[in-house]
Amino acid sequence: MKIPPGLLGATVLLWGFETRLLPFAAIVALLIEAHHFTSLRFDLSELDLRRLWTLSTLLFVGAAGYCFISRDGPSSLMIFLQSAAAPSKSKAFFQVFNVGLILFQWLPLIFLPMMLGQLYSRAGRIRLSSFFWLYRGRIEQSTGNFYVNFGFPFIAVCFAAASAANSRDDLFYPCVAILSGWLLYAIRPRRYSVVYWLSLVALVGYGGGWGHEGLHAAHGILEGRTAEWISRLIQRNTNPNESKTSIGKIGKIKLTSGIVMRVHPVAKKPVPSHLRDSIYTTYRGTSWFSALGKRDFASVIVESDQTSWKLQNQTNFPDEVGISAYLNRGEGILAVPTTVGVIRNLPVLILETNSLGAIKVREGPGLVRYNILYGGDNTIDSPPSRAEENDVPETERTATLRIVNELQLHGGSAQEVQRALVKLEKYFSEKFTYSMYVTASKNGQPGSETSISDFLNNTHSGHCEYFATATVLLLRQAGIPARYVTGYVVDEFDQDKHCYLVRHRHAHAWTLVYFNGSWHDYDTTPSTWINEEKKLASRFEGWSDWWDDIWYSFSFWRYLGNQDYYRTVLVILLFTLLGFLAWRIIYKGKWNKTKTKKSEASADLPGADSEFYRIETALLTRGLHREEYESFAGWIQRLQQTGLVPVYPEIPGILQIHYAYRFDPQGLTPEQRLYLSSAVSECMEKISKLPNALIHKN
């Protein structure tokens, strides 16, 4: 059975839309549907098709290995097998499970070579044994020349890959239902009217949609109850958030030039130099943790317009900035200025903050563009605890105490704190340098000091994580509350786009200092670090930006564009599709844009050269038509019962041999083939001698 033209391409486009790979899907759909418009075909042997399947298999294995390794699969699997803690096992399991979902989303591209091989081969089909390596010989013996149309499993793969994206939009089920109906229409029973068949399909589709929504609601209830039960069970074992730094790692630290977000100036107001996303308070080993105790996120009540969130009670904020950023599956940590007060035009359902000032959103689109009012005297951060005033690891106290005494840093009043900040900034700018390449200790005894102590005493060179960590510990040693912050620096303005581009390499770490009853940004990393990072930019950065612009434009159109226009386009496409189906139903035409002759195409079918077709042709030319629902045996029997043709005793035997020739994988023996030819010849002689009156009776 042939797949209706356009169905494969439409299925691929659905996959691309759901997985956010629409540019790739458009190219794939074009390659697939182009075979209807060109006569280009290749003489691919059975061995060539087997090699294509081997290629697809190798692509699958390679993609699986890459996803598993790049997504921390080995470590997650080891944690799942060895850890006794329920939270760790659960997290590791879902990490490995997500690797499988990501791989699933790429399956259409992995099996594309096999699909194109079938479409552009002269045979247009693939032997079943080509898909099996180990049992190929045994399968050939049992199935013979049994061929399959790879398009059907490819459609199933596209549906499964689209569902793995779990985008949760309202278009997935209707699109799958329409595409499935499109496919089923091609094989519908001809004995029933089209209206009856369409009504039945619509009823089944509606019932499936109702069941789909019911299962989704039941899943949500079960998931909520399970999460509540698990949270009570493992509440005391929950780990705090942490930031693993590159402190202590020797070698070059290099980040990519990919665009993370875009910062839009508003009314020619200056943009903030730093945008933070996470704040940490405790340093252990080479990692920063959010807190020693429990720090839960609390929901913020949305304003009446459903897109504004007031974080401070202050009413007037002097500055405003716009930010465009992506959300991973509708969730993420927002990058904001330290003095953020109000967030506007943020289309999410849930916004939460914790006591350290981090802002988390959930249930949002893939791209958000929000405005921030900021610049007041206060922040949403909690006041410092006593531990944050003097929490310095014992291993770092010797180095930090020496520098504090040398610089005579003291806390206390706001003036004393500001004088200490000036001294410390001057100290770092004059005696330290920024470097993305971290060398080994200069004292010749690696391991005798911690990485931060070695940075302060010997190397005097490092990246922003060294400067930020050392600054926090020095300030705390002097009795000045400080916290460690991660985020991005806003520096690169693009004249063509009229906005600032924030790249991965603009990721930064700095310090929050508490004085005058509020937290303030404090950055001791030498300002040359931005130029140093820029020198390491890839020579292909322009091409990367070009692709980022295309993806941003598409995402903006999809998530933030005119939704009414978007729905109108979908309605037009839907009615166009329905009109095409109606045209096919009314005219019952077969759309075939290839230049291959029908006789050549039919010659490839098993048994297409059966001599029985001579009898069929002879009867049809005499006006003895055959109904669409009739088999050959039923047709001949009707003609004989109504007296339109006499009873021929050799007809049943001819039909039996003909059916064996057409459908038996073993085919015919030479003796059976000879009998079929001679029996048909004898029958044709009898038909040719019949009186015309008998042939045209009734």
In which band, very low, low, confident or very high, does the pLDDT at 607 lie, cut at 50, 70 and 90? confident
| Pair (47, 150) in one structural domain | yes
Determine the average pLDDT of the residues in 72-82: 62
| Pair (183, 259) in one structural domain | no
| Pair (94, 146) in one structural domain | yes
- H-only helix segments in 186-254: 194-233
| Pair (515, 548) in one structural domain | yes
- The mean of the pLDDT values for the chain is 78
Q: What is the pLDDT of residue 321?
A: 93
Assign 166 to helix, strand or coil.
Answer: coil
Q: Does residue 540 have a pLDDT over 50? A: yes
Number of domains in the chain: 4
| Pair (523, 570) in one structural domain | no
Residue with structure tokens 């003097």?
390
In which band, very low, low, confident or very high, does the pLDDT at 239 lie, cut at 50, 70 and 90? very low
Is residue 52 in a domain?
yes
| Pair (126, 253) in one structural domain | no
Q: What is the pLDDT of residue 100?
A: 79
Is residue 284 in a domain?
yes
Residue with structure tokens 């490995």?
96
| Pair (29, 72) in one structural domain | yes
In whole angstroms, how far apart are CA 431 and each of 404, 464, 524, 526?
15, 15, 12, 10
The sign of the CA dihedral 398, 404, 406, 408 is negative
Q: What is the pLDDT of residue 698?
A: 39
| Cα distance between residue 196 and residue 133, in whole Å | 45
Lowest mean pLDDT among 59-68, 83-92, 480-489, 571-580: 83-92
| Pair (506, 642) in one structural domain | no
Query: What tokens were used for 525?
Result: 């990393």
Q: Does residue 643 have a pLDDT over 80? A: no
Nearest one of 486, 533, 485, 488 to 263, comparing CA atoms: 488
Is residue 225 in a domain?
no
Nearest one of 210, 159, 207 to 183, comparing CA atoms: 159
C-beta neighbour count of 651 within 10 angstroms = 20
Q: What pLDDT digit, counting tens, does each position of 468-490 carry?
A: 999 999 999 988 999 999 999 99
Lowest mean pLDDT among 221-230, 450-459, 555-564, 582-591: 221-230
Q: What is the pLDDT of residue 517?
A: 86
Determine the average pLDDT of the residues in 666-685: 84
Query: What tokens were used for 452?
Result: 């931060």
Burial profile 187-225: b = 16 or more Cβ within 10 angstroms, e = fewer:
eeeeeeeeeebeeebeeebeeeeeeeeeeeeeeeeeeee
In which band, very low, low, confident or very high, does the pLDDT at 150 lie, cut at 50, 70 and 90? confident
Q: Does residue 168 have a pLDDT over 70? A: no
Give the residues across from 274 on adjacent strands: 489
Q: Does residue 442 have a pLDDT over 60? A: no
Is residue 448 in a domain?
no
For the chain, give the percent of residues with pLDDT over 90: 13
Q: What is the pLDDT of residue 600?
A: 43
In which band, very low, low, confident or very high, does the pLDDT at 425 lie, cut at 50, 70 and 90? very high
In which band, very low, low, confident or very high, does the pLDDT at 696 lie, cut at 50, 70 and 90? very low
Residue with structure tokens 């290839």?
594
Q: Does residue 562 have a pLDDT over 70? A: no
Q: Does residue 316 have a pLDDT over 80? A: yes
Is residue 67 in a domain?
yes
C-beta neighbour count of 232 within 10 angstroms = 8
The residue range of the domain holding 660 is: 612-697
| Pair (48, 75) in one structural domain | yes
Q: What is the pLDDT of residue 342?
A: 92
Q: Does residue 262 have a pLDDT over 90? A: yes
Task: Determine contact, residues 111/32, Cβ cutoff 8 Å.
Answer: no
Residue type, 558: R
Is residue 238 in a domain?
no
Is residue 443 in a domain?
no
Q: What is the pLDDT of residue 512?
A: 92
Is residue 224 in a domain?
no
Put the strands of the sheet holding 309-310 in their side by side order: 309-310, 342-344, 367-374, 319-326, 259-265, 499-503, 492-494
| Pair (553, 567) in one structural domain | no
| Cα distance between residue 225 and residue 300, in whole Å | 23
In which band, very low, low, confident or very high, does the pLDDT at 448 lie, cut at 50, 70 and 90? low
| Pair (555, 566) in one structural domain | no
In which band, very low, low, confident or very high, does the pLDDT at 82 lie, cut at 50, 70 and 90? low
What is the value of pTM for the model shown?
Answer: 0.51
| Pair (534, 629) in one structural domain | no
Q: What is the largest CA-CA distance in the chain?
A: 126
